[in-house]
Amino acid sequence: MRVISRRTDAGIEVFDAELEPVRVFPVPADCWSWQVPSTRDGLVCASDEAVLRIGPDGSERWRFGLDSPGDVALSADDSLVWVYAPDEWIVLDAATGDLRSRRPVPAAGQGGTHFPLPDGRMLLDVGEGQDGSQIFLAGPEGDLHDYGWGDRVLIDVSPDQRQFMTVDHEAQRDVVLHDFPSGERRFRLSVADFGEDPEVGVIEWTGGYLDAGTAIVVVYGEDDEPWWRHYRVDTRTGEVLGDLGIVTIDEDDLQPLGDGTYVITDTDGTLRRM
């Protein structure tokens, strides 16, 4: 299960599997991208000028300099740190900070979101603002695979590593479930397929895989007031299974964990796993 953490005034707050607070790591004020390993005994974060490894006592274990702010992620086995900085993808040894590989990325990115894969590879979505979104796949070494779409946002990868989900970037008119790793379209669902008015609703850039057999797709719209609904989709047939029927504080709050559960935030800020 993914380690849940969040930023507070005191630093990065880390939770256990039952969402009980474990510890808070103090981090620099400009550390805006971070990830916690499965041991929950430290973290890596990217500041404006460097990637840092923070130890159990909150001290800095190593530092790798950057020319611009980056986005960081740990590999599935916590052995590597992947860093997207504008126009390049960097892989570091998680224990020492030593450089493992560094390769250019053909994207004018404003930020990158990583999706670690159990086999050691990594998927990366690079947001280019109004110009679109690029999706890449790579291992720690070797060539980078560019899916070449430019107009789809990567939302999540299924826990069985057989699918990934994307949403139309510009108009948010559809969600697609793709075969992994080929990218071949398996199912495409429009706003109307969820029983919503496409003149009012859009597919949000959020949701994900509840488990290998079920995806969560969020439809958002505005009538007199904003509204959003979390629809379940059968990943094997593409059938819409209905509204999850959950209330969240906003359209982005629900986080599927891939094991049949998800995390939401109560109005008092308490995290709940359901």
Q: Which CATH class is domain 153-274?
A: mainly beta
Domains 1-150 and 153-274 agree in fold: no
Contact at 8 Å (CB) between 207 and 222?
no
- Total count of residues recorded for the chain: 274
- pLDDT at 1 (0 to 100): 65
- Going by pLDDT thresholds of 50, 70 and 90, the confidence category of residue 58 is confident
Residues with Cβ within 8 Å of 96's Cβ and at least 6 positions away in sequence, in order, are: 62
pLDDT, tens only, 197-250: 999 999 999 999 999 999 999 999 998 899 999 999 999 999 999 999 999 999
Domain ranges of the chain: 1-150, 153-274
Q: Which CATH class is domain 1-150?
A: mainly beta
- pLDDT at 131 (0 to 100): 86
Contact at 8 Å (CB) between 108 and 84?
no
Q: What is the average pLDDT across 12-33?
A: 92
Using alpha carbons only, what angle is made at residue 84 by residues 81 and 85, rounded to the nearest 5 degrees?
125
